[in-house]
Amino acid sequence: MVDHTGQVAQSWLLPGEVGTNEIVSRLDSSLRWEITVDDRQEITLYDTFDWQLWFQNLVFYRLDSTCILCDCNRFSSDESSNESSNEPIASCEPLEQVPRFWWDWPEGGMRDELRGIIGLRALLPLTTLGVATHRADLRNEDDKTVTRLLFQRFVRVTERREQILGMCRVLPIRGYDRERGSIEENLARLGFPRIDTPPLQMILTQTGHRPQPWSSKPTTSISPELTAREATRRLASASLDICRDCEQGIIDDLDTEFLHDYRVSLRRVRSLLKLVKEVYPRNLTAQTISELSQFARQTNRLRDLDVFLIDREQHAEHVPGELAHCLDKMFGDLNAERDEQQHSVSSRLQSDAYRRSISQVQGVFAEAKWWPVTVNSHVPVASLANQLIPRRYRKICRMISRISTQSPDAQVHDVRLEAKKLRYLVEFFGTLYVPELVMPLTKRLKSIQRVLGTFNDLAVQQEFLRGYVYNQVAGQADSHELTLAVGSLVGILHQRQKAVRSELNAHLAEFADESTKSMVQQLTDDRRLAA
């Protein structure tokens, strides 16, 4: 790392059995030394399931009662420095517990920073360590500080107090390069190895954590020469692996993204089997789709509750103040129902019946599995993709041509479903084509899906609220006020939906225009396949 003087601060690895005083006394007998910092604290490191902080070169940790978000390079630096470059990105204190989600933090810098970084993910504790910090100032005969040494030892918080990492950092003092060089030479002479790996990475490795990129999309690459069945098998198998990876997060109720990714992965496999027809025997395909649908259906209500409760603050803003207490009751009811639904889903995912079923579905796509030959099982996947993508796009264009400002919501909803299917096809077979052709079409698809998704979400939320009122208010003394409160919220959502609808036709027309048609034609031209 670079010290506040602008010079590189070297670090050295220390064994657990050598004390600070012993090291300093053996470095340079001509210098007088004094321990100016002697501090012992406890630190807990946090990140999200998908390591969002790590991959943005950030670290979040709780140091005693203070929570700190900072650059990874600042971690374990000289905390006593007053330099502005040493300031954290955000800090918050004192806190009894670390809030898991950004919206649970008090108003301020930490809340704002986390909102933009972790989104709906939860902050999860990684490891807790004891930290002993000593700083030694080395002075010459004129009592001038010529070098500073920062000693830090990280130990497990157990009875054995096992050292995870011991390090000494030589902090340069401007104008005393010769003295710094002498200290570094002596550290090397004493047999202490220089540290080239970032301390945070060493701590994570020693505590059994290895940050890995996470994607809810299968990263399996397919090539044009594969058969349609083999390509389908690889894509389905990778998607089901993602489902299985999400199960424990759902069971532990860590955050709502686990259920979202689980459901998307199920839907991806189901759509793949429906879109790429006649690749597996019909009865096997129908049975597998049925199993996948059942897995998803058992989580429908929990997902509906999650989606609505995530927007709680936004919903509350739209209700007159005198009716706000009624929404508090509604949110309390919905949270209680969510707890029941989460327990039910968690129990189901841990049941022997579920585990047998999901394993059987995975077995369908096992590498060594043999199934009878079907119409499309051995067709080159590139040939099949070149048929399916244009066919799906043409269907969407026909549907768009029949939509007017007076068309019912269901008609718009059907376009959204077809656009989602086309998006899946482009994702499934994207690696068959050159990226320069895939990216523009994907961008247009994302744009129209965003608008259609917003329109649909607003319609679903209105229906969700109506269902709540119908099921809850009968016989309640405060049912009139509750109905008014929910009714006002439904009215706001309806107005927002109308505003989106007024813009929708323009987005649909753009997606069906000649430029998009040209993108699809170029993409599926046999000559444009990736090498």
Q: Where are the domains of the chain?
A: 11-206, 215-379, 381-531
Q: What share of the chain is helix, strand, coil (3-state, %, to 5)?
A: 55, 15, 30
Q: What is the reported pTM? A: 0.87
CA separation for the pair 43, 26 (Å, rounded)? 30
Average pLDDT in the 92-104 region?
Answer: 89
The CATH code that applies to domain 381-531 is 1.40.20.10
DSSP E strands, 48-193: 58-63, 66-71, 90-92, 124-139, 145-156, 163-172
Place of tokens 């993409």: 523
What is the β-pairing status of strands 145-156 and 90-92? unpaired
| The pLDDT of residue 478 | 55
Q: Is 34 helix (H, G, I), strand (E, B) or coil?
A: strand
pLDDT at position 175 over 80: yes
CATH topology of 11-206 equal to that of 215-379? no
Q: Tell which wins on pLDDT, 317 or 251.
A: 251
Angle at 426 between CA 424 and CA 427, to 5 degrees: 60
Q: Write the CB contacts of 124 (distance below 8 Å, at least 6 apart in sequence).
A: 46, 47, 48, 49, 100, 254
CA neighbor of 401 nearest in space, from 509, 519, 517, 498:
509
Average pLDDT in the 400-424 region?
Answer: 91
pLDDT at position 2 over 50: no
Q: Lowest-pLDDT range, 41-50, 79-88, 200-209, 214-223?
A: 79-88
pLDDT level of residue 34 (50, 70, 90 thresholds):
confident
Confirm if 118 and 102 have CB atoms less than 8 A apart. yes
Query: What average pLDDT is seen over the chain?
Result: 88
CA separation for the pair 454, 460 (Å, rounded)? 10
CA separation for the pair 66, 71 (Å, rounded)? 16
The residues facing 149 across adjacent strands are 136, 170
Per-residue pLDDT tens over the stretch 298-315: 999 999 999 999 988 888
Q: Lowest-pLDDT range, 18-32, 278-292, 345-359, 428-442?
A: 18-32
Which run of H or E residues covers position 308?
helix 300-310
pLDDT at position 368 over 80: no
Which run of H or E residues covers position 165?
strand 163-172
pLDDT at position 479 over 80: no
Confirm if 26 and 180 have CB atoms less than 8 A apart. no
* Residue 60, CA atoms < 13 Å, CB-side half-sphere: 28
The CATH code that applies to domain 11-206 is 2.40.320
Confirm if 149 and 183 have CB atoms less than 8 A apart. yes
CA separation for the pair 485, 479 (Å, rounded)? 10
How deeply is 406 buried, as exposed, middle or buried, from its count of CB atoms within 10 A (0-12, 13-18, 19+)? exposed
Place of tokens 């003394």: 477
CA separation for the pair 514, 28 (Å, rounded)? 78
pLDDT at position 5 over 70: no
CA separation for the pair 494, 515 (Å, rounded)? 33
CA separation for the pair 194, 171 (Å, rounded)? 14
pLDDT level of residue 423 (50, 70, 90 thresholds):
very high
Indicate the DSSP class of residue 527.
Answer: G
pLDDT at position 476 over 80: no
What is the β-pairing status of strands 124-139 and 32-47? antiparallel
What is the β-pairing status of strands 11-13 and 163-172? antiparallel
Q: Is 154 helix (H, G, I), strand (E, B) or coil?
A: strand
Q: Lowest-pLDDT range, 86-95, 189-198, 259-268?
A: 86-95
Angle at 255 between CA 252 and CA 261, to 5 degrees: 100
| The pLDDT of residue 77 | 59
Residue 155 backbone phi and psi in degrees, to 5: -130, 155
pLDDT level of residue 347 (50, 70, 90 thresholds):
very high
CA neighbor of 171 nearest in space, from 37, 26, 72:
37
What is the β-pairing status of strands 66-71 and 124-139? unpaired
CA separation for the pair 168, 181 (Å, rounded)? 14
* Top-tier CATH class for 215-379: mainly alpha
pLDDT at position 449 over 70: yes
Confirm if 104 and 117 have CB atoms less than 8 A apart. no
